[in-house]
């Protein structure tokens, strides 16, 4: 027990100004782990300082890494960058004020009351986290999301927006301006406005890199406004650029507080004294828990409904940054840390059983918010002198203890309250912890070469589908084997042709083509031997 208290004392970080606590006492540090790591940590601090001074920290893409400047523009290495950051923040605030005051108005409705954010990955996850974490009855606008290319997902969101579409401002976000899911979402939204006789351009703004395909489209179509994304901000660290600030400001959240919180956390996590640097302690705890080789998964358990999306946000930040085949010397290292989790105590009734009794391949990060609810809401006693919040805290403490008894590692992050300031600080904490961790394991945290493979393969499928469709159209009214269709499409990949046919058979091209596979019963034959009836669709 006292041993536990000594560990707790030795590994409890607190910052009064941030209203922030970090407890790494249950990480089961080896006695000399931190001392042994200190030289590498010092090197990491120097590398982070160089990055903040404008070093090309992402050499593969020849880019600087400047998300820390977004909340401290005076640190940017170049006056034009400083100016771009402050000007953009001013424009975001003014635009949101103009929308709220109905100085910027939709074509037909009296004012914009809803926002439809169209984006994916780093262009959606931060805004989704912030919107859900800070929503309140005081919100100025409701925020909806298209974050995929799922047609049914588009329909579902449009159904939920319902009659409010004429008063909905579409915010299309894509750093590259070429992401297909986002392009498709925009086209689907455009069509939905058009069905109501409305001009999408009069209801749309973009956040994108200057000169991107999306930017050109917005100029050509005369969108309401355009906000910049810069090559020195990565998608997964873009929450405090216009990507996150614009939707948050439209919702009516205090984006300047978010920036202040991140700035304050940056000031603390710049410390080269490890004991005073919670981002370094977090990175070191990850290193200790995972063996620096991803041997254990990061389970994120916020005991706060508002932070339920934190695990999805952190999943991209951590896994896209750290999941790398090569280190910075080109050696194969297969790095990464897997991240999952939803929220406590809900997850205690789902998978926590395995965490306590099953395979020991994880470490938990508990996230706690001390303030249970807005004080004006009162504090109902669910038992004499016991509140729901006491239970929430009790369940967190109970699970932490139960895991510790089994020798399972955990970290606990405690925020005094959840607001724009502390959320900005939390985001900044994880951004820097990821940066420091990447230094410790010597990888480039700022590129994502692996993502391209899936995108290219998807494009090849779309291209092949065009050839399959052309071949089928030429043979309407006949029955063909898979091999015949593949040959007619000039493909030596019947497996992909099969996938395309199976999908087409469920989604006939209306009025053009219907494809049906038929064959022997499943027990005796393979669907790959089906013959495909090709008919003009009714």
The residues binding ligand G6P (CB under 6 A) are 120-123, 174-176, 179, 182, 235-236, 320, 448, 451
Task: Provide the 3-class DSSP secondary structure of residue 382.
Answer: strand
DSSP state of 429: H
Minimum CB distance to ligand G6P smaller for 126 or for 344? 126
In angstroms, give the least distance from the CB of 145 to ligand G6P.
Answer: 13
> How many beta carbons lie within 10 A of that of residue 375, not counting itself?
8
Minimum CB distance to ligand G6P smaller for 419 or for 431? 431
Rounded Cα gap, residues 140 and 99, in angstroms:
10
Minimum CB distance to ligand G6P smaller for 310 or for 363? 310
In angstroms, give the least distance from the CB of 58 to ligand G6P.
Answer: 12
In angstroms, give the least distance from the CB of 64 to ligand G6P.
Answer: 17
Q: CA torsion, points 54, 58, 62, 63, in degrees to nearest 10?
A: -50
Matching residue, tokens 């949101």: 96
Minimum CB distance to ligand G6P smaller for 239 or for 368? 239
251: left (phi over 0), alpha (psi -120 to 50) or beta: alpha
Q: Compute and round to an integer the Cα radius of gyration of the chain.
A: 26
DSSP state of 143: E
Minimum CB distance to ligand G6P smaller for 205 or for 352? 205
Q: Which of 275, 295, 455, 503 is catalytic?
A: 455
In angstroms, give the least distance from the CB of 339 to ligand G6P.
Answer: 15
Minimum CB distance to ligand G6P smaller for 398 or for 449? 449
Q: 299 - beta bridge partners?
A: 340, 364
In angstroms, give the least distance from the CB of 175 to ligand G6P.
Answer: 4
Please confirm, yes or no, whether 431 is among the known catalytic residues.
no
Q: Residue 488 in contact with residue 452, Cβ under 8 Å? A: no
Task: Provide the 3-class DSSP secondary structure of residue 366.
Answer: strand
In angstroms, give the least distance from the CB of 388 to ligand G6P.
Answer: 37
Rounded Cα gap, residues 410 and 393, in angstroms:
16
Minimum CB distance to ligand G6P smaller for 123 or for 399? 123
Rounded Cα gap, residues 532 and 536, in angstroms:
13
> How many beta carbons lie within 10 A of that of residue 413, not counting itself?
22
In angstroms, give the least distance from the CB of 110 to ligand G6P.
Answer: 32
Please confirm, yes or no, whether 11 is among the known catalytic residues.
no
Minimum CB distance to ligand G6P smaller for 17 or for 456? 456
Cα separation values, 528 from 191, 470, 522, Å: 37, 21, 11
Per-residue tokens: 482: 């898979």
C-alpha of 127 from chain center? 8
Q: How far apart are the first and last CA of the chain?
A: 76
Which of 286, 345, 343 shows the shortest CA–CA distance to 312?
A: 343
Q: Which of 239, 320, 431, 465 is catalytic?
A: 320
Minimum CB distance to ligand G6P smaller for 182 or for 422? 182
Rounded Cα gap, residues 28 and 10, in angstroms:
12
Q: Residue 118 in contact with residue 170, Cβ under 8 Å? A: yes
Rounded Cα gap, residues 478 and 535, in angstroms:
7
Please confirm, yes or no, whether 503 is among the known catalytic residues.
no
Rounded Cα gap, residues 328 and 404, in angstroms:
36
At residue 372's C-alpha, the angle toward residues 369 and 376, to 5°, is 135
E strand or H helix at 457: helix 449-474
In angstroms, give the least distance from the CB of 320 to ligand G6P.
Answer: 6
Which of 481, 454, 486 shows the shortest CA–CA distance to 467?
A: 486
In angstroms, give the least distance from the CB of 97 to ligand G6P.
Answer: 26
| Preceding amide of 3 cis, omega within 30 | no
Q: Which residues are catalytic?
A: 320, 349, 455
């Amino acid at each position: 027990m006292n041993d536990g208290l000594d560990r707790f004392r030795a590994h409890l970080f607190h910052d009064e100004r941030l209203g922030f606590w970090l407890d790494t006492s249950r990480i089961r540090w080896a006695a000399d782990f931190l001392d042994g790591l200190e030289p590498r940590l010092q090197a990491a601090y120097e590398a982070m300082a160089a990055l903040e001074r404008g070093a090309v920290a992402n050499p593969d893409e020849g880019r600087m890494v400047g998300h820390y400047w977004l909340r401290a523009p005076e640190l940017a290495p170049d006056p034009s960058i400083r100016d771009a950051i402050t000007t953009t923040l001013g424009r975001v605030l003014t635009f949101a004020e103009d929308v709220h005051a109905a100085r910027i108005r939709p074509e037909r409705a009296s004012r914009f009351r809803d926002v439809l954010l169209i984006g994916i990955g780093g262009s959606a996850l931060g805004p989704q986290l912030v919107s859900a974490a800070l929503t309140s009855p005081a919100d100025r606008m409701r925020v909806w999301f298209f974050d995929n290319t799922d047609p049914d997902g588009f329909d579902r969101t449009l159904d939920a927006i319902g009659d409010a579409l004429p008063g909905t401002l579409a915010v299309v976000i894509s750093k590259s301006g070429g992401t297909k899911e986002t392009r498709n979402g925009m086209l689907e939204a455009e069509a939905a406005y058009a069905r109501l006789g409305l001009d999408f351009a009069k209801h749309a703004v973009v956040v994108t890199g200057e000169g991107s395909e999306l930017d050109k489209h917005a100029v050509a179509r005369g969108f309401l406004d355009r906000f910049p994304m810069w090559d020195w901000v990565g998608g997964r660290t873009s929450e405090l650029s216009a990507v996150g600030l614009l939707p948050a400001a439209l919702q009516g959240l205090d984006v300047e507080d978010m920036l202040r919180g991140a700035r304050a956390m940056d000031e603390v996590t710049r410390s080269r004294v490890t004991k005073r640097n919670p981002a370094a302690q977090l990175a070191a705890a990850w290193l200790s828990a995972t063996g620096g080789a991803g041997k254990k998964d990061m389970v994120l358990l916020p005991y706060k409904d508002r932070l339920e999306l934190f695990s999805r946000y952190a999943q991209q930040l951590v896994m896209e940054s750290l999941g790398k085949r090569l280190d910075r010397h080109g050696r194969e290292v297969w790095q990464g840390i897997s991240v999952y989790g939803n929220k406590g105590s809900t997850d205690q009734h789902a998978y926590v059983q395995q965490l306590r009794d099953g395979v020991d391949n994880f470490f938990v990060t508990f996230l706690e918010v001390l303030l249970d609810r807005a004080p004006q809401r009162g504090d109902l006693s669910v038992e004499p002198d016991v509140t729901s919040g006491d239970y929430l805290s009790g369940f967190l403490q109970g699970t932490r203890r139960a895991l510790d008894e089994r020798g399972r590692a955990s970290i606990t992050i405690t925020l005094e309250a959840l607001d724009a300031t502390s959320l900005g600080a939390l985001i900044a904490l994880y951004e820097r912890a990821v940066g420091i961790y990447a230094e410790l394991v010597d990888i480039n945290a700022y590129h994502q070469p692996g993502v391209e493979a899936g995108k290219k393969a998807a494009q090849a499928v779309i291209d092949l589908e065009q050839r399959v469709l052309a071949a089928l159209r030429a043979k309407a009214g006949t029955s063909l084997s898979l091999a015949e269709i593949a040959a007619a499409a000039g493909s030596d990949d019947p497996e992909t042709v099969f996938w395309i046919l199976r999908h087409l058979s469920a989604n006939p091209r209306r009025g053009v083509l219907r494809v049906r596979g038929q064959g022997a019963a499943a027990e005796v034959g393979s669907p790959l031997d089906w013959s495909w009836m090709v008919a003009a669709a009714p």
